[in-house]
Amino acid sequence: MKTKTASTRRRFFWQAGAAALSAPLAASGAHATQRDAEDTEALKARIATLEDVNAIRELHQTYTRLINAGAREEAASLFADPREAQIDASIRNLSADRFGEQDVIEIAADRKTAAARIHCTVELEIAIGPSCTLVEMARVQGEGFLKQSERRVIESSYVKQDGVWKIARSVYR
Amino acid sequence: MQKIRYPEEQMHRIAYTKLTQRQISDKLVAAATGPASVSPLSDVYAGTSLEIVTDAGPRLRYTFGDANRLAVAENGGAAVETGYGALTLDHVAFFSHMVPGTQRGYHVVVDQATGLATVFEVWFSGYMDNREVQREIYFGYVAEPGKEAPQARHTLTNRVEGKGFYWKQDTGIETLELYPSTIYSNFVELTRFGGELSFCGPSDYVKINDDLYVYSRVECEFSGMMTLYVLDANRVEQVGVRLGFDQNDALEYYVFRGSGEWLGQIAQFERFGDVGVTVVPVMGPSGNAAPAVKGARRVYRPLKTNPIMTKPEVEAAIAANTAVFGTPSAMAGNKLPASDFLVRRALTLRFDNGPIVDYTFDEIEKLRWRREGERTWREERYEAWESAPGVIMFAHLLSGAPEHDSFTIVADFEHGLATCLHGTMGTPYMANEAAAKTWFGVIETEGLTAPKYRRHHYTDELVGRAVTWNYSPGLTSMHLYSTPHSLSWIIFGESGAGGMEWSGPASYVKIRDDLYLAYWLEEACNGTLGMILINMRTMHDSGVGYHCGTDGLRLSAMGAHARHAGRFDLTRFYTLKA
């Protein structure tokens, strides 16, 4: 997965770290000491950001695994407020680990919130309806659903609670 | 002397006694002497011993006395004596016995050529309806000292799917048995129930080899009776057993030998190469896949999902919600476009055995009608489809009619003929069950002279045919026109294998060559009256569903694309012979 920035503020944060890391090392004296300190801070900030990105990626993967396992309640527990978890009942499977160039995770400068846009394939089971005898029979047989795959984008926002990233909101576009 | 013995009530109308466990135990005492048999029992095992080992099932050690007594020890336990009956079919030996003092027993199939065995453990009182025979199938082999256990096993199979046979047992009982599914089957009781209707039951199919199979069914939702037999598909011979309680609660426990006729082979819809070793997965009591539950199987229990309503409940539901060609159902995904053929026409439909009705069609969805002699027109919403050139199917409710009547009419403007299916809601059995009458007649309208004598007429031309119907994406069934008076419908599993199946009374009218008007009644089910005009040239139908449930009354459109799945040679069994 690649991390990108979209907002000026986040770009600044992200690029500040990158710029710091890419600064020339040929410096000397007080300037060198000051620059070393700045480099260290920038490096720390970048590592912290990468840790946040990794944490959110793991959170997303956990969410995906739980959805695929049909563990909706457990998936809801990954939300900051599980009552706000609106998980599309028709989704049976999310493709995990198919992250590409277009996927974005943005960490806010204060590292308390984040946002992500992750492309994925969702396998849907859409209940056939309205009900009729055949649909009722199919249900008894464990079927009666229209199965299809769609390319979607999951747009999520995240919030850090007690040092742990939680999903604030997640929408499939 | 009456030639055909018709029952007072057909199978789906019989109120079978809810037998108690005690009653069943008492009745099973008679089984201790073994099953009855018209044919001489086989002594294939008399004076021998036999040990059958099954995978994840019982180990059964048999010591056979004569041709009627054996001792069986289950899983190394103490041996108990009981009666049994054995019959052979080529190199297959079949025997059946109950375990004294229990409601359990075994039907055992041994292939003497390979040493492989299939064991059906059967029992009563395993479901809320105690009389319904439960079963678990175990595959195994005959253990022989010093000989390694074979790796091969008999298997579940789809190789019987699509076959159909006429059977005549040594008891004189004749049946037609059709296997359009891998987990269900159709049976027409020619002798026991007069052969008017076909019925369906959950079924098992086990492959012994390419000729020989084991078939079993349980008449779930009816008597709960089990019929199991080994069949030879080439020679069309069978040996098997009946176990259960009939409509008079009498124990039927007998082994039989039979022979018959091959009736044909209809299509299968699995992928090529799929021989169905794993068929549609079983379901547990909760409705979820639960193969660990002993005896679990998929059973369609229509009255569990379709509650019987009282007349007041029906009236209240209809008053609250009546939908005429409202939101299209899943059955209408492939319906024909609405036709404006009738718009601005005025006509009279004169039915020989029904009313005379004047119609004026104002708009594509609005008509007015009145009975002959009435002055007042009544306005109704309708929908019409032109199924074949000049053949219009249209339907409407008769608003305010006490039985919530509907008319579904096929009018052939090229021949001046019309047929009406008059639907009414409520039968002596269920208030939310539709009934239908068929009226034949003519069209009277400007520029058309109707025939005096010719009419549409009942037909058996569809009997035996199987036709798939794709109503909308993901919703496909197969109709099997199993008798001139009934229709079965089969749901497919995900692999394309035939799955759940049910059946109802039906009627077939010939409109033109290759154009048929059929209806079926989902009696003792959800009460729907389904009416379709089947065009075998375009392989498309148009149709109407008439249904009342807790959600009110619905008159709705249907339409599906068809595929012909073949035909069984059945018609000759339904003619009245001198």
Which residue ranges make up each domain of chain A?
9-172
Residues of A within 8 A of B500 (CB-CB) are 137-138, 140-141
Q: Specify the pLDDT at position B170.
A: 98
Q: Specify the pLDDT at position A15.
A: 31
Amino acid identity at B527 = G
Which chain B residue has its CA at the smallest distance from A129's CA?
B330
**A102 vs B512: which has the higher pLDDT:** B512
CA distances from A77 to A52, A73, A82, A161, B215 (A): 19, 6, 5, 13, 49
Confidence of residue B515 (pLDDT cuts 50, 70, 90): very high
Q: Specify the pLDDT at position A99.
A: 56
Confidence of residue B279 (pLDDT cuts 50, 70, 90): low
Q: Specify the pLDDT at position B494.
A: 86
Task: Identify the bridge partners of residue B519 per DSSP, sorted by sequence position.
Answer: B507, B531
Task: Identify the bridge partners of residue A154 per DSSP, sorted by sequence position.
Answer: A118, A172
List the single range of B133-142, B325-334, B357-366, B428-437 with lowest mean pLDDT. Answer: B325-334
Q: Which residue has the tokens 């943005």?
A: A106
Contact B289 A145 (CB under 8 A): no
Q: Specify the pLDDT at position B286.
A: 44
Q: Specify the pLDDT at position B397.
A: 98
Contact B298 A141 (CB under 8 A): yes
Q: How far apart are CA B249 and CA B234, in angstroms?
A: 36
Which percentage of chain B shows pLDDT scores above 90?
92
CA angle B505, B510, B514 (to 5 degrees): 115
Q: HSE (CB half, 13 Å, CA atoms) of B325?
A: 22
Q: How far apart are CA B523 and CA B513, in angstroms?
A: 29
Q: Mean pLDDT of all residues in chain B?
A: 95
Is the minimum CB–CB distance between A127 and chain B shorter than 8 Å? no
Q: Which residue has the tokens 């049994």?
A: B84
Residues of B within 8 A of A128 (CB-CB) are 330, 472, 474-475
What would the two tokens of residue B80 be?
């108990």
Q: How far apart are CA B567 and CA B578, in angstroms?
A: 26
Whether the complex's predicted ipTM surpasses the cut of 0.85: no
Which runs of E-coded beta strand occur in A6-129?
91-94, 104-107, 113-127
Chain A to chain B, count of Cβ pairs less than 8 Å apart? 71
Pairing of strands B378-381, B366-371: antiparallel
Confidence of residue A19 (pLDDT cuts 50, 70, 90): very low
Residue A155: which residues within 8 A CB-CB, separation 6 or more? A115, A116, A117, A170, A171, A172, A173
Is the minimum CB–CB distance between A163 and chain B shorter than 8 Å? no
Q: How far apart are CA B406 and CA B423, in angstroms?
A: 5
The yes-or-no verdict on residue A86 having pLDDT over 50 is yes
What would the two tokens of residue B411 be?
């009018």
Is there a contact between B247 and B223 (Cβ–Cβ < 8 Å)? yes
Contact B528 A132 (CB under 8 A): yes
Q: Specify the pLDDT at position A22.
A: 37
Residues 544-573 in B contacting A (C-alpha not used; CB under 8 Å) = 545, 547
Amino acid identity at B316 = A
| pLDDT 10s digits, B19-69 | 999 999 999 999 999 999 999 999 999 999 999 999 999 999 999 999 899
State the best of B183, B301, B491 to mutate against chain A, taking most chain A CBs within 10 Å: B491
One-character DSSP codes across B441-495: EEEEBTTB---SS---EE--TTTTEEEEEEEETTEEEEEEEEETTEEEEEEE-TT
Residue B160: which residues within 8 A CB-CB, separation 6 or more? B179, B205, B207, B213, B215, B231, B233
CA distances from B37 to B92, B176, B252 (A): 18, 21, 11
Of the candidates B521, B550, B566, the one whose C-alpha atom is nearest the C-alpha of residue B310 is B550
For the segment B544-573, the average pLDDT, to the nearest whole number, is: 97
Which chain A residue has its CA at the smallest distance from B556's CA?
A132
Please tell me the total number of residues recorded for chain A in this structure: 173
Q: Specify the pLDDT at position A12.
A: 27
State the best of B329, B433, B520, B556 to mutate against chain A, taking most chain A CBs within 10 Å: B329
Kindly report the backbone phi and psi dihedral angles of residue A44, in degrees, each rounded to the nearest multiple of 5, phi listed first.
-60, -45
For the segment A130-157, the average pLDDT, to the nearest whole number, is: 85
The SS3 assignment for B424 reads strand
CA distances from B332 to B145, B481, B541 (A): 63, 21, 10
Is the minimum CB–CB distance between B286 and chain A shorter than 8 Å? no
Contact A136 B489 (CB under 8 A): no
The yes-or-no verdict on residue B312 having pLDDT over 50 is yes
What would the two tokens of residue B463 be?
């009997």
Confidence of residue B281 (pLDDT cuts 50, 70, 90): low
Q: How far apart are CA B292 and CA B386, in angstroms?
A: 52
**Which DSSP helix (H) or strand (E) runs through B292?**
none
Of the candidates B244, B301, B218, the one whose C-alpha atom is nearest the C-alpha of residue B500 is B301
Q: How far apart are CA B398 and CA B379, in angstroms?
A: 9
CA distance A173 to chain B (A): 23
State the best of A90, A92, A123, A134 to mutate against chain B, taking most chain B CBs within 10 Å: A134
Residues of B within 8 A of A141 (CB-CB) are 280, 283, 298, 491, 493, 499-500
Q: Any idea of the CA torsion for B6, B11, B15, B18, to the nearest 10 degrees?
A: 120
Is there a contact between A80 and A167 (Cβ–Cβ < 8 Å)? yes
Is the minimum CB–CB distance between A138 and chain B shorter than 8 Å? yes
Task: Write the DSSP symbol of residue B332.
Answer: G
Residue A115: which residues within 8 A CB-CB, separation 6 or more? A6, A104, A105, A106, A155, A156, A157, A158
Residues of A within 8 A of B489 (CB-CB) are 133-134, 137
The yes-or-no verdict on residue B519 having pLDDT over 60 is yes
Amino acid identity at A44 = K
Is there a contact between B258 and B458 (Cβ–Cβ < 8 Å)? no
Which percentage of chain A shows pLDDT scores above 70?
80
User: If phi over 0 gives left and psi between -120 and 50 gives alpha, with beta otherwise, what is residue B359?
Assistant: beta
Is there a contact between A154 and A1 (Cβ–Cβ < 8 Å)? no
Is the minimum CB–CB distance between B181 and chain A shorter than 8 Å? no
Task: Write the DSSP symbol of residue B3.
Answer: S
Confidence of residue A29 (pLDDT cuts 50, 70, 90): low
Q: Specify the pLDDT at position B276.
A: 82
CA distance A130 to chain B (A): 5
The yes-or-no verdict on residue A4 having pLDDT over 50 is no
Residues of A within 8 A of B493 (CB-CB) are 141, 143
The yes-or-no verdict on residue B450 having pLDDT over 60 is yes
The SS3 assignment for B125 reads coil
Q: Specify the pLDDT at position B164.
A: 98
**Which DSSP helix (H) or strand (E) runs through A73?**
helix A72-76
Residues 460-499 in B contacting A (C-alpha not used; CB under 8 Å) = 471-475, 477, 489, 491, 493-494, 499
List the single range of A6-10, A119-123, B141-145 with lowest mean pLDDT. Answer: A6-10
Is the minimum CB–CB distance between B525 and chain A shorter than 8 Å? yes
| Orientation angle between helical segments A29-68 and A8-22, nearest 10 degrees | 130
Q: Specify the pLDDT at position B365.
A: 95
| pLDDT 10s digits, B468-492 | 999 998 899 999 999 999 999 999 9
The yes-or-no verdict on residue A9 having pLDDT over 80 is no
CA distance A161 to chain B (A): 38
List the single range of A129-138, A152-161, B3-12, B298-307 with lowest mean pLDDT. Answer: A129-138
Q: Specify the pLDDT at position A94.
A: 85
Which chain A residue has its CA at the smallest distance from B490's CA?
A134
Residues of B within 8 A of A90 (CB-CB) are none
Q: What is the CATH number of domain A9-172?
A: 3.10.450.50
Is the minimum CB–CB distance between B95 and chain A shorter than 8 Å? no
The yes-or-no verdict on residue B185 having pLDDT over 60 is yes
Q: Specify the pLDDT at position B377.
A: 97
The yes-or-no verdict on residue B193 having pLDDT over 60 is yes
Q: Specify the pLDDT at position B384.
A: 98
Q: How far apart are CA B227 and CA B169, in angstroms?
A: 12
Q: Specify the pLDDT at position B452.
A: 97
CA angle B378, B381, B387 (to 5 degrees): 120
Of A131, A133, A145, Cβ closest to residue B525: A133
